[in-house]
Amino acid sequence: MIKRPLRLFSAEEQDALVKVLNRVDALGNLWARGFEVYPVDLDSRFVDKFNYFKNELRAQNAKRWLVRIHAIFNVGVRLANERDMGQGVFIDLTMNIVRLRWVIKGRAITISLTESEAKYIRDRLSEGGKPKLARAWVDGENLYIAITFERDVESIQLSDRRLVIDVNSWRNGIVWALVNGKVGSMGRERPNLGCIEMLYKHVTKLGQKYGALKRLGLHKSQYGRRLWREIKATRRRLYAYLKDYAQKLAHKLAQKALKYRAGVIIDDVLEESRRGLMEEGLPNGLAKVYMLYLRRFVKLLTNQLEWYGIPYEFKRLPSTICPVCGNELVQLPNRLMQCPKCGLKANRDEIPIKWALILANL
């Protein structure tokens, strides 16, 4: 994703970017609901591309479908001497620039690529990816351009191994295991809980101070405003930390599946984790933090698995039912689980993995 402060553009470009892209966002909602709106003030290719790619977007974005529809562009790339065919977004890797068209009539807006952006695009291309579409939008003070690549995936030759991934709250972590008839290596991935709790406590404490000021009607004072800014900044830091962690972990696990050529089994039923956190008596706000970006993690993970052609399936993997006899397990201290009927004793994290072995006939 390319992100650029609007102030880097000329006044004419800034004006056009804000006006046109926001207008497409607004109209996109109507297009998505099937209205035939052909606004004369916009390049007609915005409607064309929307109609051309809409099924794609629906599949990608089923839940958030009606939230925001961004301007869609077709994409062209120049690696060596390919011709610029006037696509909506043209990426020229010989000069490391992107040309964004249709926003200003008759000319393109040129954006220089950073080294890492150019490298990202090159990497996707060298893996056999083809740019499919780009979306552009303006949010706050920034222009965003996101490019989607697709790949003709030869399905990879799978080994007998499977990678089982049990998604829990961040507090309990995401448990993975490589299995092949039995459990091979296993691990639990967790962000730094101390850091999360510290940031959360800090936000809470500041929030209480701010609340007290508000009751006194002093929250608009200089001190109050500073407090409010600090609350927002700390919260942003907390969110950014978790978001980044989720992204890196998705990458790490997808690479692990690729390395071992292992099909992937995912349990992403999060309701139980949420209840678990409440039962532990965690403050509501902290429980929420521990559930942040888990959906996003699963989405990023499956996107990457699809990219590499690794099959995956979702399976409900129980953690409180005995995988030997089916009896309800009893929880002992230290996350140990015991079956009162057959005597099985195992760490709570291992139960879902044992279930995966049974359910996937491994």
User: Applying CB under 5 A, which residues contact Zn ion?
Assistant: 322, 324-325, 327, 339, 341-342, 344
Least Å distance, CB 318 to Zn ion, is: 12
Distance between CA 16 and CA 68 in Å, rounded?
19
In the chain, where do the E strands start and end?
2-5, 71-73, 75-78, 89-92, 97-104, 107-112, 129-139, 142-151, 162-166, 174-180, 182-189, 263-267, 312-314, 330-332, 336-338, 345-347
Distance between CA 213 and CA 201 in Å, rounded?
19
Least Å distance, CB 356 to Zn ion, is: 17
Written as six digits, the tokens of 266 are 């995912």
* 119 versus 341: smaller Cβ distance to Zn ion: 341
* 119 versus 345: smaller Cβ distance to Zn ion: 345
Least Å distance, CB 325 to Zn ion, is: 3
Distance between CA 71 and CA 176 in Å, rounded?
38
**Amino acid code (one letter) for 256:** K
* 142 versus 347: smaller Cβ distance to Zn ion: 347
* 174 versus 359: smaller Cβ distance to Zn ion: 359
Least Å distance, CB 320 to Zn ion, is: 12
Distance between CA 182 and CA 161 in Å, rounded?
10
Distance between CA 248 and CA 262 in Å, rounded?
19
* 198 versus 325: smaller Cβ distance to Zn ion: 325
* 310 versus 339: smaller Cβ distance to Zn ion: 339
Q: Which residue has the tokens 């006006």?
A: 19
The phi and psi torsions of 252 (rounded to 5 degrees) equal -60, -45
**Amino acid code (one letter) for 223:** Y
Least Å distance, CB 251 to Zn ion, is: 37
Least Å distance, CB 332 to Zn ion, is: 14
Least Å distance, CB 341 to Zn ion, is: 5
* 254 versus 329: smaller Cβ distance to Zn ion: 329
Distance between CA 8 and CA 111 in Å, rounded?
10
∠ CA(4), CA(6), CA(11), 5° rounding? 140
**Amino acid code (one letter) for 69:** I
